[in-house]
Amino acid sequence: MVSTILEFPPLDCSLLFSDMINFHLERNPSFPIFVYGNEKLAGTTNEISFLEFGRAAHRIAHALRPARQGPDGEVVMIIANTDTILHHAVVAGMSIAGLVPFLVSPRNSAAAVVNMMKKTNCSRIVTLHHAHQALIDAIQRENEGVQLTVDELPTLVYAFPKLGRESVTDPFDSYPPPSARPDLDSPAIYIHSSGSTGFPKPIPHSHKVQIHWMSQPGAYFYHNIAAPRRLGAMALPPFHVYGIMTQLYIPISCLVTAAVYPPRSEADPHAQPVIPTSDNIIECIRQTQCGYLMTVPAFLEQIAASEENVEVLKKLERVTFGGGPLPMKIGNALWAAGVSISGGYGGTEFGCPVANADPKDIADGDWLWMRFPEQIKVRWVPQGDETYECQILTTETNQMAVENLPDVKGYATADLFVKHPTKDMWRIVGRADDVIILASGEKTVPAPMESVIASSPLLQGVAMFGRERNQVGILIEPRPEYAVDVGDEKAVADVRNKIWPLIEEANKTSPAFSRIFKEMILITSIDKPMLRAPKGTVQRKATLKAYEPEIDALYNIVEASSLSPNGLAGPAEWTNAVLEGWLLEHASAISPGHHIDPTADLFAQGFDSLSVTYLRNQLLGALRKSSDPNIKKAASRIPPNIIFENPTIQLLSSRVAALVNENGTGEAVDARDQHRRAINAMIEKYSTGLNGPSDGLLDDGRVNSGPIEPTVVLLTGSTGGLGSFLLAQLLESPAVERVYALNRPSSTSSIDQRQKSAFLDRALPDDLLISKKLIHIQADASQDKCGLPPALYEEVRNSVTVIIHNAWRLDFNLAISSFEASIRATRNLVDLGLGSFHKQNLRFLFTSSIGSAQSWDNAKGPFPEEVQLDPSVAVGAGYGESKYTTERIVVKSGLHATSLRIGQIAGGPNGSWATTDWLPIIVKSSVALGALPEAHGVVSWMREEEVAAAIIEITLAKEAPPPALNIVNPRGAPWADVMASVRHSIALQKKLKGGDLSIIPFAEWFALLEKRAEGASADDLVNIPAIKLLEFFRAMAHGDQVSRSLNPATTEAAGMTNFSTTKSQLVSQTMAQMRPIGETEARSWVQYWSSKGFF
């Protein structure tokens, strides 16, 4: 029980920070300083009381300075990416021990750390060796000749031996008190600046500054909030000034409980702390029931995209953002939705001088404006353009950590504000020193980079831009003799190339987020020179304002077309050898800091779809710029998926060379042969040592054997859509004794969190997850022994009777080689089954895909429920090829193995059809295009819960199921009817008029899409996501035209393969009785998509 009588500490400097820890330990022992969600028992929370936190601090003091040995005031760096509660306990423990903690971001370079160590006379670091060994080694090399002490951070278990459960009766040894009180003006803690102007600067906070910060308006506001007095501070780094204030100073001074993420290092000291995401912020708010939230703009932008998440924010008393600007449209949308949002303001040098806005101040939409209370003495210095620099003056109760004014004690913030026209409020609009604050909150100081670039003899003016954007750019003004027509692309490219070496030089000395890409160089027009002051200096703000249309257009072009971030010349020759080096150079430029192996899969080396677009654009650009007409013509032969289909530099260079140096005839045949060879090679590689029949039909008398009872299931991929339904039904089944749920580990959230989130999203009962049947395993099954520790591997192998392998990489662009890890994981699971005591009767079910039959000729009739030995049927996208390959491997295992070729799953009972799937993308895009596509034929789509039920019926069937079954709806629904139901539901949801969303033939719809894809803006890519899958929908449109001319109305729509389900209906009653999807499902999809803010 938490005491209802709170005793607040005095904030008059009679108690120092370390004294306050002891004050609460004695006076408010049961009050919680931290609360977090209980990952072991859903719906509950754990609390860390002041008793437990204070004792943890004393234990750490013992560990880091036993018996007060050595001098007081030793500066000790903390470089540790660890759990929030442990990090703060270390800070408190150091303070109690008379040490001076120096909080350092692990993201700093070794040179920056050494620079700060020298400035503070620091020679000791407390760190996590397993996490930061490379940085520590580099620091020691940089600090050569200096005696450096490096200690391991005390563990969470050491500091909190009874995490969340410690009582006053538990054993405890307090740390000896100091012999004398330190001087109020001596350093109590060091926090460093952001380093936006060079190396970060160490900023000492004296004992007086620490206490004064706790009484500043930004902190003291929380003194009078109502119960349960919980402040959401989960997403802030504990080494940052924002985190220190919200997670430590406010709870200690105001008796407020900070809601944080659950600690991860209790069971495993090497475990990473939770990585903040918009989703786990919302989950933490729900779990802890905090009434207030402090966060950064980047997360609010993500949260604002979901109506469901916005509903969570609406329930909070206040949402405060800081650390960077929030785009106006996001803030306005949140305010209009009913979120009580306001901006915070603060800095390492001066604290938090503004309080949370009064509700009356923001009631009319002034969420961006701030009020400085009278106790804060501000000097507003006019800048001559209706903006004012904020200078905060030192007073007896508000000591500045840094004083930089020449005439009085105080701090010039360099932040520029404008005054509210009617209220005594202010809004920040920029920086006096022109720091560019990006959308991420990262800060770029233009001056150092501009000075390097401006040294070019070609230029007479430069100005960087990028406020509230994701990347910076630079506006350059050539000298008159070098001026160019900005409409002449060749002349513009020539100027960019000439100044590129200087921009590269500037990029080398800047953080990664400050890098200028070649396409982000904007050149002034001859008739629109930069604006200048009488003395000749560039008037930055006025100039950038004048070029706002051009800057906006540049961002739209770059973001829409994903231009390459480099300007390397084309290859000297279009031969295999030369191309390999050229492509490698480009791939390395796209992925700075990564060594690209030309023989390894690019996607395993960090490439993504944006990287692919960059590289392909550079390739096409080089071809089109060639002076050789034959090479220029080859650009038309470069397929959209060339990098996905040739995912290593060696494969890609070989393929490009063949396309460039041949006339293109016969390429389709060669490509199909190449695919077949790749499939057969993968089958051979991963079926070595397997002796089962190639058709999977066992002839050793085991065919009619029933399932082993009781059933113990190993299920992979339980956090996905189908996996969640499988897990729920397995846990509900009385025939199942135990379920091992094997999923890949995540650095962002625990498996319990991910599984619960998956259940809640699909309206599945999450109380099933506390079942004693369920055992979660986090491991990478593609690793040796499925990535399991030896004891656990033995336990699973010896007890499991059924393996349902449902985990697979989902990406329809990749080649088969990019799925090798998934295929290898399957072989590892097969080996586990073959090593089991139960291997004679163990059942292995693989959730394959109808994509494994993507090249089947429908003229041969429906695709049969048999193992297909000719890989030609699977040639196409790597996803389907990888599924086919795996079917061939599992049937050769000699186990009772069944591949289930699963068709399109159309969401669960609550309409939970993932918004990233192709049909939701069609629907969202159609709203923007004003028309939905109509296709000839039927769709054999299925409800997710019925697919799961069919799989479990097949799993538990009395007789072992055949080697291959097709799981598609035996009763298709006409595409036209389904689309009409979708249209009707959207019309009701969005209150559309009759002609606002027509239904037109697929070919016409695709023509609309293709037209909008030409010169698409960034907004178009958001509102019409089908642009990103243009080739996929081109194939569907072509398939629909073929279907209309050749096939009856009962064929699968858009030319898709028809499948036989005779055998699956005999094995599964659910399959036999499955109904076509219809209006009810369409309505639930639209409602679900709307709830996700999709429209």
Structure tokens at 290: 């905090």
665 band by pLDDT with thresholds 50, 70 and 90 = very low
Strand order in the sheet with 521-523: 459-465, 473-478, 521-523
The set of residues, in sequence order, having a beta carbon less than 8 Å from that of 414 and lying 6+ positions away, is 389, 431, 432, 433, 435
Give percent of the chain with pLDDT exceeding 70. 92
Cα–Cα dist 560/422, whole Å: 41
Structure tokens at 1014: 């030409």
Selected from 3.40.50.2000, 3.40.50.12780, 3.40.50.970, 3.30.390.50, the CATH number assigned to the domain covering 17-295 reads 3.40.50.12780
Q: Find, among 86, 91, 94, 40, the residue nearest to 70 by Cα.
A: 94
759 in Cβ contact with 766 (< 8 Å): yes
Highest mean pLDDT of the ranges 106-110, 308-312, 917-921: 308-312
1021 in Cβ contact with 1028 (< 8 Å): yes
611 band by pLDDT with thresholds 50, 70 and 90 = low
pLDDT at residue 307 is higher than 50: yes
Residue appearing with tokens 């939905």: 932
Give residue 1031's pLDDT.
Answer: 78
Give residue 124's pLDDT.
Answer: 96
Give residue 666's pLDDT.
Answer: 37
Question: 581 phi and psi, to 5 degrees?
Answer: -65, -40
747 band by pLDDT with thresholds 50, 70 and 90 = low
Domains of the chain, by residue range, sit at 17-295, 436-561, 576-665, 699-902, 914-940+972-1095
Structure tokens at 123: 């020679």
The region of weakest confidence among 798-802, 1005-1009, 1036-1040 is 1036-1040
Question: Cβ-count burial of 245 within 10 angstroms (0-12 exposed, 13-18 middle, 19+ buried)?
Answer: buried
State pTM to two decimals.
0.51
* Torsion sign over Cα 1017, 1022, 1025, 1031: positive
Please tell me which residue, 732 or 540, carries the higher pLDDT value: 732
pLDDT at residue 592 is higher than 60: no
Give residue 326's pLDDT.
Answer: 79
pLDDT at residue 628 is higher than 80: yes
Please tell me which residue, 257 or 444, carries the higher pLDDT value: 257
Give residue 669's pLDDT.
Answer: 41
973 strand-pairing partners:
939
Half-sphere exposure at residue 980, Cβ-oriented, CA atoms within 13 angstroms: 6
516 band by pLDDT with thresholds 50, 70 and 90 = confident
The set of residues, in sequence order, having a beta carbon less than 8 Å from that of 361 and lying 6+ positions away, is 342, 369, 371, 423, 425
pLDDT at residue 948 is higher than 50: yes
Cα–Cα dist 504/1017, whole Å: 28
pLDDT at residue 560 is higher than 50: no
pLDDT at residue 324 is higher than 80: no
pLDDT at residue 281 is higher than 80: yes
Neighbours of 407 (CB within 10 A): 6
Give residue 517's pLDDT.
Answer: 80
Average pLDDT of the residues in 368-380: 93
Give residue 533's pLDDT.
Answer: 56
743 in Cβ contact with 774 (< 8 Å): no
Cα–Cα dist 853/868, whole Å: 9
562 band by pLDDT with thresholds 50, 70 and 90 = very low
The set of residues, in sequence order, having a beta carbon less than 8 Å from that of 3 and lying 6+ positions away, is 28, 30, 31
Neighbours of 362 (CB within 10 A): 20
576-665 fold: 1.10.1200
Cα–Cα dist 451/41, whole Å: 57
Give residue 700's pLDDT.
Answer: 54
pLDDT at residue 785 is higher than 60: yes
pLDDT at residue 287 is higher than 80: yes
Q: 379 in helix, strand or coil?
A: strand
pLDDT at residue 608 is higher than 70: no
pLDDT at residue 526 is higher than 60: yes
The region of weakest confidence among 6-20, 467-481, 858-872 is 467-481
Strands (DSSP E) found in 58-206 = 75-79, 100-103, 124-127, 149-152, 187-192, 202-206
Helical segments of 509-592, H only = 540-546, 548-561, 576-590
Average pLDDT of the residues in 858-872: 91
Question: 576-665: same fold as 17-295?
Answer: no
DSSP letters spanning 968-1000? S-SS-EEHHHHHHHHHHHHHHHHT--TTSSEEE
Give residue 554's pLDDT.
Answer: 85
Please tell me which residue, 515 or 207, carries the higher pLDDT value: 207
Average pLDDT of the residues in 67-72: 92
Question: 429 phi and psi, to 5 degrees?
Answer: -125, -10
pLDDT at residue 4 is higher than 80: no
Structure tokens at 446: 């233009």
Give residue 1050's pLDDT.
Answer: 65
190 strand-pairing partners:
102, 204
For 585: left if phi > 0, alpha if psi spans -120 to 50, otherwise beta; the answer is: alpha
pLDDT at residue 447 is higher than 80: no
556 in Cβ contact with 1017 (< 8 Å): yes
pLDDT at residue 1 is higher than 50: no
Cα–Cα dist 611/606, whole Å: 9
pLDDT at residue 864 is higher than 90: yes
C-alpha Rg value of the chain to the nearest Å = 32
644 band by pLDDT with thresholds 50, 70 and 90 = confident
Q: What is the DSSP letter of 275?
A: P
Average pLDDT of the residues in 800-819: 88
Let me know how many helices (H) and strands (E) the chain has, helices first.
Answer: 39, 33
Cα–Cα dist 981/984, whole Å: 5
Please tell me which residue, 31 or 595, carries the higher pLDDT value: 31
Average pLDDT of the residues in 1000-1006: 93
Domain 436-561 listed as CATH 3.30.300.30: yes
989 band by pLDDT with thresholds 50, 70 and 90 = confident
Selected from 3.40.50.720, 3.60.20.10, 3.40.50.300, 3.30.1300.10, the CATH number assigned to the domain covering 699-902 reads 3.40.50.720
- Looking at every residue in the chain, the average pLDDT score rounds to 87
The region of weakest confidence among 94-108, 516-530, 621-635, 729-743 is 621-635
Average pLDDT of the residues in 778-796: 94
